[in-house]
Structure 1
Amino acid sequence: MKKSLFILAVASLLSGFISCSDKQGIPNQDKPALIPAPQEITLKNDFFSLTRRAAITLDSSNPELLKIAHYLNSKTAPATGFEIPVEKHGNIKFELADDTTLGAEGYHLLVKHGDILITAHQPAGIFYGVQTLLQMLPPQIKSDRKQEDFDWTIPCADITDKPQFAWRGLMLDVSRHWFTKEEVKKYIDQLAEYKMNVFHWHLTDDQGWRLEIKSLPRLTEVGAWRAPRVGQWWQREKQLPGEEATYGGFYTQDDVKEVLAYAAERYVRVIPEIDVPGHSLAALVAYPELACMKAPETVGVGNKFYGEDENTLCVGKETTFEFMDKVLTEVAALFPDEYVHIGGDECFKGFWHKCPRCQARMKAENLKDENELQSYFIHRMESLLKEKGKKLIGWDEIIEGGLAPDATVMSWRGMEGGIKSAKAGHHVIMTPAEHCYIDLWQGEPSVEPDTYSMCRLKDSYSFNPVPDGVPAEMILGGQGNLWAESVPTFHHAEYMTWPRGWALAEVLWTGPEKANWDLFWPRVEQHFLRADEAQIKYARSMYNAIVTPRYTEDGSLEIALDSEPGNLDIYYTFDNTDPDNFTPKYEAPLRVPKNATWLRVVTYRDNRPIGKVITLTIKELEKRAEDTRRVIGNL
């Protein structure tokens, strides 16, 4: 009962925080809608005006606080047209205090009519207080052009806030498609604005090796380039003999240092991933001697190869471990974080089974099967990393054959691998595909760019990283993963990340026990406005109708229609015309009229279309209903 009352109180408070036009003295344009929602907040009936007379006061001997002041100016000066100087007696104060209850990242933000105070135990907390402050400014603050004659007002509020989870991340795959150094920095900047603190950099895979390793120059001279292709992934024609490899790129170690410095100023950890022993086709093309039998001749372009062409390092050759020692030595020296991710996922073991060297290794080490051979490889990777002062993270496949003693597991195939690892005393980062794979469809597939499965905004928002019965202290947190097979441009990477990244940010900062969908999605709409001002691409897929066909007990096809926001009207037609608010309105599950060919659906709000028109053939609906019946029958 107490929990229910607490949720109602928070709901009432946040609802008022979003719609504060009834608060006297607060201009209508200043409606703050914070993502992630703070732990505690009280909104006051007044506002602070940010003007040219503003100044920042801080301990000028602390370089981190000075950098945060510079960061704040970088975010406000383009739109306001003025910078906020650091002075001895300013009305915006950054203050470090001995309040250990705020932890390393918590903060207290007090906005009054005449001044603003951000207090934290560590500089990271000041940084996150600044993020909240920026979100309390009108959306126009995100513009890169000066807004003439604009009143920059911030609602007065008292906020105490800190994160629920220490690991709040996003992963970007730069192998399947290449993203420039500047695009990577932009991605880091965007995730930091939502108090996410881990950037997982997937640097190597079958379709490209993206990190300069000075002792192994062919990794980037050869492995970073492939023939240009468009079209559906896995359906592409492989690189032809004599065809020039012109698509790709790589990051020099100086590039990486620049990205790391940029991330550090935003309190973002950068976790490099070198994906081995599988997903290594690009490395085998560069160094064919690492293959069991015959290395491929060209880097993958998105063509089918799994089980046909080798993409797995030979574990039977000691040269493989010499190669990995060189790679990890340079990675460990370059990246300051305590963790290095070594992948370990989707390792095809068929060539190991045929390889006499791998079989000899299994016999010499008394390994009963190829799963234990992979475990042997992972154990040796952990030993190499320990020698270099690093800890190992791997995808949950590293459990198979026996988990390395101190490995941290990133669980993507559901929660099961994470649960098993946590109960065995291993730290876990939860990233189950059904909640955290942001490369998947986020709405009706027929009106979305091509991919292969579904993860709606509501799915991401319902993520709870700590399953029942698991020691909470073993779960470091979670992250979203953007695999890039179907993400050819940075603009599309933004589309796939936001708003699902906002949902994950709130779950991981505010905590799943405080999640409230009905309060979250209206705030998402406010952040659409902010993204528009910043020219950041995002998906409006939550507005599209959800079409769910099923067969009833009498064998009839029945179609349910729904939407993620709860206040949309849904209109439909079966007569081949476009639906609008003059066609039938959905009220109850539909039966298909005789001889109908198509169903067309659209969503409206306030008598205006808000979602895309969805057109589905009756044959497609029948197929989906049959697929659903088959899945249910197999459960």
Structure 2
Amino acid sequence: MWSLQVFTVFAFAYVASGQFELPNPWTWRCVPQEGKDSVCVKELVTATTSGTSSNAACKITCGKYGPLWPKPKSAKIGNEVQYFLPSAVSENIVASEADKALVVQAVEIFKDNLNAYHPGYKKRQVVWRSRDGAKFIELRVSIEIEGPSQSHLTLDVSDEQYSLFVETLPSSSITNATIRAKTFFGARHGLETLSQLIDYEEAENSLMIVNSADIADQPSFTYRGLLLDTSRNYISVDSIKRTLDAMAANKLNTFHWHITDSHSFPMVLKSLPKMAYYGSYSDRDLYQPEDIRNLVVYGRVRGVRVLPEFDAPAHVGSGWEWGPQEGLGELTVCYKQEPWQEYCVEPPCGQLNIANENIYPVLGKIYKEMVELFGPIDMFHFGGDEVNLNCWNSSEEIVNYMSSNRVDRSADSFYGQWSIFQNRAYDLLTEANNNLPVPGILWTSHLTEKGRTTRFLDKNKYIIQIWSTGTDPLIKELLENKFRVIFSNYDAWYLDCGLGAWVGDGHNWCSPYKEWQAVYDNSPNKIALNLSSTVDLSLILGGEAALWSEQVDSESVDVRLWPRGSALGERLWSDPDHDWRDAEYRMVNHRQRLVKRGVQADRLQPEWCHQNEGLCYINKA
């Protein structure tokens, strides 16, 4: 008899709708845990159950921080929801005209993110149809920018703090959400947080928002970056846009674009068209000037600066072959030289020919166009790592140059020539930037080894990006010498690690794989304090995860970046004093949200774990 009754229910659902719509026998209840955040517990609906709640409704109201990622500095979130439709969202903007133009675009992104929560969004089958008897509210969003207009991120000036207050008056059909910030960038972060207090409610075929919230928030670090290499393999413009979208969802603010290398030169320059002509993989694998300008604007509206890197004097080759035919001589040395293991860290080798003065006018033209394409810039990345002295020493032209300048060929002499090149490059960049100096970023290298940094580099001009391990004593030396630093230690924040070697066999050089837990627990401040308890933490600007693209392209970039990039986002925004375990439930839920928004983020756990919080632990520590 029981089976017949169930069959009858199933049949009725099919006849009524034209497809099977099974009634949900489950409800979720927010349950406190001793010493931990609350969890959503899945329970069977019975005849005595009251106040049923969907999994989504439970998650946006449960726990100290609800569904928010990265977690804010302080938050108080209501435990009830109000239903509304996207058509019932209105906004009021109080800001300067310049900021208002940006906010209008940010609001459109906000509304699109709300539509993305609908299950039919990906198939473009979004139909918002209210259920009979449903009670909907109007969502009024007020955005107030109190400070002077600032339409571009700057390293020292930008204020990204915001406050968000959500209130539903008793017996009212209106929910007010008020965002206050000093800059557009803070206001944009507030909109992102508001979008995370909203989700789709299946039973009502509508959106729902928490009935109240009081949030005050600001970042722990001013530089929160993600590097993407587009030279080893070309990454499409659409893939970069998805990356910027996901960065915005995680409040990361710097897209470090490693746009060229010895492998390819995909950047089209009007003053030097032969660079891309010789250096691109094909006439489709190019970044046209309009592509770059559009991406800079696309990022800005999402609170992300697009930071250009032009890596030199190593990591050059493809695209530089045209020097002799133009009467400029060889602009590079040891390009594609074999055996490559003797001249570089990976094929193809190539370094600038420091004996050829013609490299400097060429660099000047490159910098000028990059400033125009990416500007206004508040910093510039010079690369500057992995110079191989054997490469320079194998060039007869450079050997003769050293001899004619009465410079011996010791390692220290070569480093001296390298520092001369770097200082000239800095001056060329400044000239290209209308004689306005900006900080230059350099990777740790032979120039920054023990005792060398202060000899060869000016702390007022350069920021050092650390890519060695988190136990490197150089970190202490750099901070004691008052250099500003950005952390990218490869033992936690290199996202290409853990794959099979692409030259040879076994695993690649920086294995093992850096799981999201390792990314999350990598604290720049703790690393510095472990090395010295007296360092000035204000010199730590922040950090950046790097994805080098030897084994990634447009088809796989999302899964390599996300949701590990989300772990980076919370570390750099919130700098939590706990480890990944206290963030796990929110992380798993946030990954689901990224997928709804079109980011092909990697799966972390079975769906069962998402629906049964607290039951997929390894231990209770």
TM-based fold match above 0.5? yes
1:480 aligns with 2:545: yes
Query: Which residue in 1 is equivalent to 2:236?
Result: 180
Instruction: Give the alignment partner of residue 502 of structure 1, picking from 557, 560, 566.
Output: 566
Query: Which residue in 2 is equivalent to 1:276?
Result: 312
1:257 aligns with 2:301: no
Residues 316 and 117 from structure 1, CA distance in 2 versus in 1: closer, same or farther, beyond 3 angstroms? same
Residues 332 and 177 from structure 1, CA distance in 2 versus in 1: closer, same or farther, beyond 3 angstroms? same
Counterpart-to-counterpart distance in 1, 2:448 and 2:50 = 55
Amino acid at match of 1:93: S
| Cα offsets for 1:274-310 (capped at 9, x unmatched) | 1111111213335463356564499x9x999759865
1:34 aligns with 2:73: no
TM normalised by structure 1 equals 0.71
Give 1:45 deviation, angstroms. Answer: 3.0
Give 1:484 deviation, angstroms. Answer: 0.6
Amino acid at match of 2:424: R
Q: Classify the secondary structure of the residue corresponding to 1:36.
A: coil
For residues 314-463 of structure 1, the aligned pairs below 5 Å read 314-336=353-375, 337-359=377-399, 361-362=401-402, 364=405, 368-387=412-431, 388=433, 389=436, 390-397=438-445, 398-400=447-449, 402-405=455-458, 406-415=461-470, 416=472, 417-441=474-498, 451-452=508-509, 453-454=511-512, 455-463=514-522
| Cα offsets for 1:313-349 (capped at 9, x unmatched) | 1111101122211211211222122212111111122
Give ranges in structure 2 of 5+ residues lacking alignment: 1-31, 44-48, 61-66, 119-125, 129-137, 149-156, 169-174, 501-505, 607-612
Residues 181 and 104 from structure 1, CA distance in 2 versus in 1: closer, same or farther, beyond 3 angstroms? same
Counterpart-to-counterpart distance in 2, 1:421 and 1:216 = 37
Counterpart-to-counterpart distance in 2, 1:322 and 1:97 = 45
Query: Which residue in 1 is equivalent to 2:17?
Result: none
For residues 37-436 of structure 1, the aligned pairs below 5 Å read 37-51=71-85, 52-59=87-94, 61=97, 62-77=100-115, 91-97=140-146, 104-113=159-168, 114-138=175-199, 140=200, 149-155=204-210, 156-225=212-281, 246=282, 249-287=285-323, 289-291=329-331, 295-296=335-336, 306=345, 310-336=349-375, 337-359=377-399, 361-362=401-402, 364=405, 368-387=412-431, 388=433, 389=436, 390-397=438-445, 398-400=447-449, 402-405=455-458, 406-415=461-470, 416=472, 417-436=474-493
Contact 2:352 2:359 in 1 (8 A): yes
Give 1:196 deviation, angstroms. Answer: 0.5
Residues 533 and 184 from structure 1, CA distance in 2 versus in 1: closer, same or farther, beyond 3 angstroms? same
Counterpart-to-counterpart distance in 1, 2:270 and 2:358 = 17
Residues 517 and 293 from structure 1, CA distance in 2 versus in 1: closer, same or farther, beyond 3 angstroms? closer
Counterpart-to-counterpart distance in 2, 1:207 and 1:188 = 24
Counterpart-to-counterpart distance in 2, 1:18 and 1:376 = 61
Counterpart-to-counterpart distance in 1, 2:40 and 2:145 = 29
Amino acid at match of 1:68: A
RMSD between aligned residues:
3.8
Give 1:522 deviation, angstroms. Answer: 1.6
Query: Which residue in 2 is equivalent to 1:555?
Result: none
Counterpart-to-counterpart distance in 2, 1:25 and 1:98 = 44
Q: Classify the secondary structure of the residue corresponding to 2:568.
A: helix
Counterpart-to-counterpart distance in 2, 1:148 and 1:28 = 11
TM normalised by structure 2 equals 0.72
Sequence identity (%): 24
Give 1:149 deviation, angstroms. Answer: 4.8
Contact 1:339 1:392 in 2 (8 A): yes
Give 1:507 deviation, angstroms. Answer: 0.5
Contact 2:93 2:143 in 1 (8 A): yes
Q: Which has the higher contact order (CA 8 A, sep 6+)?
A: 2
Contact 2:116 2:596 in 1 (8 A): no
Contact 2:219 2:574 in 1 (8 A): yes
Contact 2:320 2:332 in 1 (8 A): no
Amino acid at match of 2:363: M
Counterpart-to-counterpart distance in 2, 1:365 and 1:160 = 62
Give 1:515 deviation, angstroms. Answer: 3.4
Give 1:268 deviation, angstroms. Answer: 0.7
Contact 1:17 1:43 in 2 (8 A): no
Counterpart-to-counterpart distance in 1, 2:492 and 2:427 = 33
Give 1:451 deviation, angstroms. Answer: 4.5
| Cα offsets for 1:443-473 (capped at 9, x unmatched) | 9xxxxx9744122222111111221143111
Counterpart-to-counterpart distance in 1, 2:596 and 2:320 = 45
Q: Classify the secondary structure of the residue corresponding to 1:41.
A: strand
Give 1:386 deviation, angstroms. Answer: 2.3
Residues 280 and 371 from structure 1, CA distance in 2 versus in 1: closer, same or farther, beyond 3 angstroms? same
- More deviation, 149-158/166-175: 149-158
| Cα offsets for 1:501-549 (capped at 9, x unmatched) | 111100000014x333222122121123223433432334678xxxxxx
Contact 1:47 1:112 in 2 (8 A): no
Contact 1:196 1:505 in 2 (8 A): yes
Query: Which residue in 2 is equivalent to 1:471?
Result: 536
Give 1:26 deviation, angstroms. Answer: 6.7
Counterpart-to-counterpart distance in 1, 2:424 and 2:365 = 14
Residues 569 and 255 from structure 1, CA distance in 2 versus in 1: closer, same or farther, beyond 3 angstroms? closer
Contact 1:109 1:160 in 2 (8 A): yes
Counterpart-to-counterpart distance in 2, 1:268 and 1:182 = 16
Counterpart-to-counterpart distance in 2, 1:276 and 1:11 = 54
Query: Which residue in 1 is equivalent to 2:578?
Result: 515
Count of residues paired in the alignment = 501
Q: Classify the secondary structure of the residue corresponding to 1:284.
A: coil
Q: Classify the secondary structure of the residue corresponding to 1:58.
A: strand
For residues 602-621 of structure 1, the aligned pairs below 5 Å read none
Counterpart-to-counterpart distance in 1, 2:495 and 2:143 = 36
Query: Which residue in 1 is equivalent to 2:37?
Result: 15
Amino acid at match of 1:105: E
Amino acid at match of 1:279: H
Counterpart-to-counterpart distance in 1, 2:401 and 2:479 = 30
Amino acid at match of 1:318: E
Counterpart-to-counterpart distance in 2, 1:54 and 1:204 = 43
